[in-house]
Amino acid sequence: MRWSKIAVVYAVASILAVYLYVRSGQRSQANLPDAEALAPLVQADPSSVDAVKIESADATVFLERRDGRWRVTQVVDRNGRPEVPAKPGEGNAEAHRVSGDLVDALIETFITVPPIEMVSEGGAPAQFGLDPPGVVVSMIVGSTPLPVIEIGNRSPTATAVYARRRGASHVYLVGLNARYYVELLWDEVLSKKKGTG
C-alpha cells in the first residue's frame, strides 16, 4: 500500500474519531440535569439559620444559635429519653457550647455547596442507604423549617455520600464533608456529655 493511501486512511480515521468524540460529548451534555438540579440542596442564607437538629439511630442533638454562638439545647438518646444540659448559669456553660465553625460548615455544605452530581431520579432509596437514612439534618430560619436533608451511605469510591431532600425522588452525591462534620459534632457533644455526666 502506498504512503499516500495510508495517509488518507489515517486522516479519515482521525476525522471519524473526532466526530464520534464530539457526538458523545453532545449526548452526555444532553443527559446532564439542568442547572437548577445542581444548585445547593437548600436555598437560604447560611447566617440566617437559627436552629439545627441532627438525628441518627443513636441520638438526636438540638442546636440553637444564641447571641451569635451555637449551643446544645437538648440531646435525646436512642430510647427517646431527653437529656437536657444543665443551665449555663449553673456553672456549666461550657457543656452547652459547640464549635460554631463546625456547625456553620455543616450548614454551608447544604446551602452554599452544590452536589457533585445527581445519581438517581427515583431509584430505590435503600440502595443508597436512605431507607432509613443514616443521618437526618433539619435547619430552621426563624420559625420556618428548611428542606430536611437525609444522608445515606458513602459512594463506592468512599469520596462522597448519597443525600436527598426528604420526600424528593432525586438522589445526589455530596462531598464527604457532610458526614465528616456530623461525626465531629457528634464526638464533641458526646464527649462533653460524658465529661459532665
pLDDT in tens, 46-81: 999 999 999 998 889 999 999 889 999 989 988 888
Of residues 170 and 11, the one with the higher pLDDT is 170
CATH number of the domain within which 162 lies: 2.60.40
Range of the domain at 190: 37-196
Q: What percent of the chain has pLDDT over 90?
A: 54
| Number of domains observed in the structure of the chain | 2
Give residue 32's pLDDT.
Answer: 45
Residues 7 and 46 in one domain: no
Residues 26 and 76 in one domain: no
pLDDT in tens, 145-195: 999 999 999 999 999 999 999 999 899 999 999 999 999 998 888 776 655
C-alpha cell read off for 189: 457533644
The answer to whether the beta carbons of residues 72 and 60 sit under 8 Å apart is: no
Tell me the C-alpha distance between 97 and 66, whole Å.
Answer: 10
Backbone φ, ψ for residue 144 (5° rounding): -100, 115
C-alpha cell read off for 2: 502506498
Sorted by sequence, the CB contacts under 8 Å of residue 178 that are 6+ apart come out as: 106, 109, 110, 151, 161, 163
- Quickly state the pLDDT bin for 142 (edges 50, 70, 90): very high
Residues 149 and 179 in one domain: yes
Residues 116 and 162 in one domain: yes
For residue 18, pLDDT beyond 60: no
- Residues 21-45, mean pLDDT to the nearest whole number: 61
Residues 10 and 76 in one domain: no
Q: Is the peptide bond before 132 cis (omega within 30 degrees of 0)?
A: yes
Residues 27 and 44 in one domain: no
- pTM for the structure as a whole: 0.75
Of residues 144 and 122, the one with the higher pLDDT is 144
pLDDT in tens, 82-128: 876 655 545 455 557 888 999 999 999 999 999 999 998 877 899 99
